[in-house]
Structure 1
Amino acid sequence: MDNYLTETYGRPFLDYVLATSNHGHINDLTDGQKATLKLLHNVAEAVDTEDGKDLRRVHIIHRISGYLPEHNCSVAALLRMQSGGEIPEPHHGDPLVDCMWRLARDAWPSFLIPQDENWPAFFGAMGALTFTHPAGNEAWNRILQDDSLKKLFPEYSDDPDSRGEVTEIQSSVLTSAGRGGTFQLVSLPDLILSHARMRQLIQNELSFESFLSAVAAIIADWRRLAIGRQARTPVLVGFAGITLEREVNLPQGRLRKRSEADRLLFGRQPGLGREVSVVLETTHAFKILKVAPAKEMLSNNGMTNIWKGLESKFEESRKQLDHDIDMVRFSVLMASEPTSPMAMAVVSRAMLDMTQHGSSFGTHAVSFAPYGDVHIDSARAEKIEHWAREVKDKHPGKLTLGARRLVSAVSTRTDPLDGLIDAIICWENMVGTDMETSFRVCGALACLLEPESGEERTKRFKELKSLYDTRSKLVHGSREPSYIEAQEYRSQAVGYALRAMQQLYRFPDLLSEPESAVRGTKILLTYDLSIKGSRQR
């Protein structure tokens, strides 16, 4: 096949419109297939001569997805039939889903055209189809007649004769993701199709049948959102610092190798330092917090006032997502050996905001790794799965600060002294007190780390006290140690913090103690930490 056409349209698209298997090469083309290839070649050449070549893919999609009334299908669908293929007639039973499936059938080929490999995916180019296809017009009407979805446009009647031009039907929305603005009825079918495709990419289920399933699932989510309920929206988090032998199943989702589809959602991130090696595939609670007439938010201070009233909700949602990600990183760290921490640094993050085209995308420029990459073999993966369940079931909120600081000490602190300070904050979060801090923190940690031997306990206390005193002198302006010394201090402080946190999980009543000072006192005075078990002396 012509390399020019393959590079322009991609093999999946060509296989679809030529009605061929995606295995092997095409021989003995029929007259219909030859006609299809000629038309595609003409379209590609026409686009190449236009201005704005950065929008080449959009121009191509507009040409091949346009609706042909005389054939009751898109250009791409007609090409498939011309090549000898069949066009499916999917049926669901829900009137809105059925008309969206007709749109999905004709839009499907457009989603197969390759994306720009350097930037996150954007699928908001279906307007040539949704604005001209009869199923698009039916979808708008079905939305306004739907008991749930019509709440997205409270100003407008479900009577087609009394609501005015459909292109003027809009509202303003604000979501728990902290995003919002004008929301148009005519954009909703396009959003449903594009987000269905993105969910396909995330789940790596790329068949036409899975696309239809994703469309139905997106519609169900929109119905929940429209009546004020929450939906779970996909989130991808790209990490550096570990590599995987196999998928790791966690309460929050799954850790997996980076896939080719992730490239479309994250982009290449040129110049941002460390590359994504592992992806967390999870979900996050997503909710529409406010629906209002567009003119209300566009009025003087309208958006500002509403935004201020919802700031606490935005912050709550952001903190919950950050917490979920931190607990995944913490679980992996807890499965580490103290001398070889598995340190995951966040490189990229993408959340699918269903009210927007594309994803809410962010990057973190991580160019330095305090610890080297660690390969997670099957045995380590099993250990991570164990610790993830332990953390999910047992980790107390009062120790979240310590967990977060321990994670940052091993993954993001480029200055080893910052890592040392973070690790000792973790010590204090576990067993800290307002009085006699140095002695009590180091004494409690020594008991926790060396419960079997008084001699070892004394030795450990001295080591801990030396590190604690170094931290105290630093924050009060003493001369900084050399870089090599600082690295060693960090490694020691991190190792002790990690071992102590692992030990606490052996004793659930100590772990759940709400006050660090009380926990420290129990460890020092009343608790038997020996290998025989947890009991008070």
Structure 2
Amino acid sequence: MKLVPLIPNDMEGQLEFLCEVLGKAFIDWVLVNPSGPLTPNQAEALDLLITLLRQGQSSVGHPGSARLILSGLTQYYPEVNTSALNYLRIRSTTQPLPRFTKSEDDLLDALTEAAVEIYGELLLNLRNPHAGILGPYASPVMQRLRAAVTSDPSLPFRLGDENAGVYIVTTAGQATSIQGTFAGTSIISAAWEQVRMHNPATPSLENLVEALPTALDKARTALSGSTVKTTGLCSFTGATLPSNAVIELGWGRLRSARFEDHPEFVDSMVERRTVGQAESGEEVVISDAGDVILEVDVPFRIDMPAAPIDFTADFTWPKQSSTLELEKRVLQVRIALMLALERATIPVVLPVWRRFVQPIGQGGSVGISDPELSAPRVPSTLSSMEVESWREWIGRLDSVELLRLGVAPARLLRAVAERRDPFDSLIDSVICWEAIFGGDAEMTLRVSSAIARLLRPPGPERQQLRREVADLYRLRSKVVHGVGVAMDDVIEASKTAIRLGIQIVRTLATDRVDLINKTSSERSILVLMD
């Protein structure tokens, strides 16, 4: 955990301290881009923030604690007709909060007005996407938002009853309820999350307001029971992209991770680093939280049961299409990298955290896999040419139904990137072969012959490869049945088996696409009959 130093006594040091603990974007909003000598009003706002944090000095070791200390500033104060946070900004700038042109949609206008009201709170929770932004509950602005939500005929909330809610089950695996009280701020939060991906990590208020019409349309459509498109996110550790590189994929994109992308509760992973050396000799540093972000367009649908869900009874979840689409693309991207680059050390990326930008909802889950539990990673930096090769292979696999290869792709990735024990890597690699070319009988002969015929031309090379594969099969059998095998032999065998697995999948995805949709038995027969 990052330790925050004691609060300095000088004004310049205090400003730097606040930027470090609360984020520069938040301080720029409250103090209105402080630079040079502070005005008396800015100095007064700075002093108040420092005073509040001094009172909780023992808790300021983590940004989340500082945020908790300042949470009282987001409450409504009738004396100033806004939140204390907004009042500090108004005092700093001596100007009222920004206003935007009204539309012909009452709910959109209420959302816009509320977005201005809670913008500072969004900045305060910049890296906590599931904080449950509420806004200053008692303010007239938030009251108008709740009234607009419950009176909107396209939304399923009870007219005039903001505390009434609806039960929802989503294709992203979430089961919860949504109250009219929080639906409006939930839509604003969804717009905020969406715009953060395609703008600077800290979008302006104008960016947020521009995103509200689309976010509202999406929420209305989703709450009508129709399928909408939203975004699934996954972070990868193991490799870094060139500066400012973005890989556009048609159904999503890959880009470099920003600090602000990572939820606060993976901060310990952000700070865990692995250092390696590129082939050029340059130092490569990767973070356990991930240095690459995958964004995927996924289908999203909401079902609304008529009553609370009884999970002890026979309950049928809707098809998890959002999760399935994200996982399909995660597998595709990882396999594509392995196939795209031919290096001495096989390049791999590991997924760390996954989450969805839901069009409406209170909270949501984040799935996390700790890379320390997987095989040691060799950090790699991709060149521009390698990035282009990765993009081409991802595109090539768009037309290849990897799932028709059964467990083969997942087992191959497991052997390369996740298994810490070479015995397990060898077993997984051979399972990959069997998933592609296995049958009911004569497994060793069938698989070894099919691999040799697929990868080598007729002649001595083919015969030699068939014998090598058969030898690896026998070694695998000894391992499985507890026969003593030298560790060095297993390490070499697992490396060879992995390389063969990669060659097989690469050949199927390029020269023998006709075999993809066959069963494993059909594939081996067709190859052997060629």
> TM-score category by the smaller chain?
0.7 to 0.9
Does the 8 Å contact 1:272/1:365 carry over to 2? no
1:47, distance to aligned residue in structure 2 (A): 5.7
What corresponds to 2:366 in structure 1?
Answer: 361
Q: CA deviation at 1:272?
A: 8.2
User: 2:394 corresponds to which residue?
Assistant: 388
Superposed CA deviations along residues 493-528 of structure 1, whole A, max 9, x for unmatched, are 1111111221122335533442222222222223xx
* Equivalent residue number for residue 268 of structure 1: 267
Deviation at 1:259, TM superposition (A): 0.8
CA contact (8 A) 1:88 1:105 kept: yes
Which of these residues, 204, 208, 219, is aligned with residue 207 of structure 1?
204
Alpha-carbon offset, residue 227 of structure 1: 0.6
Determine the structure 2 residue equivalent to 1:337: 342
Question: In 1, distance between residues paired with 2:112 and 2:218?
Answer: 16
Query: Are the aligned partners of 1:61 and 1:125 in contact in 2 as well (CA < 8 Å)?
Result: no
Q: Is the 8 A contact 1:505 1:511 kept in 2?
A: no
Instruction: Map 1:457-476 to 2 at 5 A.
Output: 457-475=462-480
Amino acid in structure 2 at the alignment position of 1:410 = V
Match of 2:24 in 1: 11
The Cα offsets for residues 235-260 of structure 1, whole Å up to 9 and x where unpaired, read as 32222222222333334422222211
Q: In structure 2, give the amino acid aligned to 1:102.
A: E
**1:244-286, Cα deviation, whole Å (9 max, x unpaired):** 2233333442222221112335622459894423222224332
Q: Which whole-Å CA distance do the structure 2 matches of 1:456 and 1:371 have between them? A: 33
Three-state SS of the structure 1 residue aligned to 2:230 is strand
CA 1:126–1:61: 2 relative to 1, 3 Å: farther
Displacement of 1:219: 2.0
1:456 equivalenced with 2:461 (yes/no): yes
1:427 alignment counterpart: 433
Give the alignment of 1:208-247 within 5 angstroms.
208-245=205-242, 246-247=245-246
Q: Do residues 191 (structure 1) and 200 (structure 2) align? A: no
1:32-57, CA deviations, whole angstroms, 9 ceiling, x for partnerless residues?
Answer: 33443344444445565999996541
Q: Separation in 1 of the partners of 2:469 and 2:102?
A: 66
Equivalent residue runs for 1:9-158 within 5 Å: 9-20=22-33, 25-27=35-37, 29-45=38-54, 55-63=65-73, 65-69=74-78, 72-82=81-91, 83-85=93-95, 87-91=97-101, 93=103, 94-113=105-124, 120-127=128-135, 129=136, 131-149=137-155, 151=156, 153=157, 156=158, 158=159
* Preserved CA contact (<8 Å) 2:222 2:359: no
Whether 1:173 aligns to 2:168 is yes
From the superposition, tell whether residues 446 and 19 of structure 1 become closer, same or farther in structure 2 (CA, over 3 Å): same
* 8 Å contact kept, 2:405–2:516: no
Distance 1:497 1:41, change over 3 A: closer
Question: Aligned pair in 2 of structure 1 residues 261, 371: CA closer, same or farther (>3 Å)?
Answer: closer
Deviation at 1:2, TM superposition (A): 4.1
Q: Is the 8 A contact 2:133 2:186 kept in 1?
A: no
Matches of residues 402-441 of structure 1 in structure 2 within 5 Å? 402-441=408-447
Aligned-partner Cα distance in 1 for 2:268–2:85:
33
Checking the alignment, whether the CA contact within 8 Å between 1:341 and 1:371 is kept in structure 2 is: no
- Tell whether the 8 Å contact from 1:339 to 1:491 is kept in structure 2 after alignment: no
Question: In structure 2, which of residues 476, 481, 488 is the aligned counterpart of residue 484 of structure 1?
Answer: 488
| Partner secondary structure for residue 148 of structure 1 | coil
Q: CA deviation at 1:95?
A: 1.6
Q: Compared with structure 1, are the counterparts of its residues 456 and 225 closer, same or farther at alpha carbon in structure 2 (3 Å cutoff)?
A: same
In 2, distance between residues paired with 1:226 and 1:511?
42
CA contact (8 A) 1:250 1:385 kept: yes
SS of match in other structure, 1:123: coil
> For 2:299 and 2:259, how far apart are their aligned partners in 1?
26
Task: Tell me which of 362, 376, 382 is aligned to 1:376.
Answer: 382
CA contact (8 A) 1:235 1:282 kept: yes
Deviation at 1:228, TM superposition (A): 0.7
Q: Which runs of 5+ in 1 are unaligned?
A: 527-537
From the superposition, tell whether residues 37 and 522 of structure 1 become closer, same or farther in structure 2 (CA, over 3 Å). Answer: closer
- In the superposition, relative to structure 1, how do residues 52 and 450 fare at CA in structure 2: closer, same or farther (>3 Å)? closer
Distance 1:454 1:312, change over 3 A: farther
Give the RMSD, CA atoms, in angstroms.
3.1
Counterpart residue type for residue 170 of structure 2: T
CA distance in 1, matches of 2:334, 2:447: 25
Identity among equivalent positions (%) equals: 26
Q: Distance in 1 between matches of 2:488 and 2:60?
A: 56
The answer to whether the 8 A contact 1:18-1:85 is kept is no
337-346 or 485-494, which moves further after superposition? Answer: 337-346
Structure 1 pair 356–481 and aligned structure 2 pair: CA distance change class (3 A): farther
Contact kept? 2:336, 2:394, Cα under 8 Å: yes
Distance (Å, rounded) in 2 between the aligned partners of 1:303 and 1:478: 43
Equivalent residues of 2:479, 2:485 under 8 A apart: no
Corresponding letter in the other structure for 1:487 = I
**What letter is aligned with 1:365?**
D
Extract unaligned runs of 5+ from structure 2: 1-10, 274-287
Aligned to 1:313: 319
Of the structure 1 ranges 376-385 and 517-526, higher mean CA displacement relative to structure 2 is found in 517-526
Partner Cα separation in structure 2 for residue 242 and residue 14 of structure 1: 33
Residue from 283, 296, 300 that aligns with 1:286:
300
Q: CA deviation at 1:144?
A: 2.4
Contact 1:338-1:499 within 8 A present in 2 as well: no
Residue type matched to 1:100 in 2? L
Contact between 1:121 and 1:265, CA under 8 Å: does it hold in 2? no
Query: What do residues 174-195 of structure 1 show as CA deviations (whole Å, max 9, x unaligned)?
Result: 2223322332211112322333
User: Which one-letter code corresponds to 1:234 in the other structure?
Assistant: T
Residues matched between the structures, number: 494
CA contact (8 A) 2:253 2:296 kept: yes
SS at match of 2:319: helix
SS in 2 for 1:267: helix
Q: Secondary structure at the match of 1:235?
A: strand
Q: Separation in 2 of the partners of 1:216 and 1:141?
A: 18
Residues of 2 paired with 1:122 and 1:319: CA distance?
22
CA contact (8 A) 2:134 2:182 kept: no
Conservation of the 8 A alpha-carbon contact between 2:122 and 2:133: no
Deviation at 1:216, TM superposition (A): 3.2
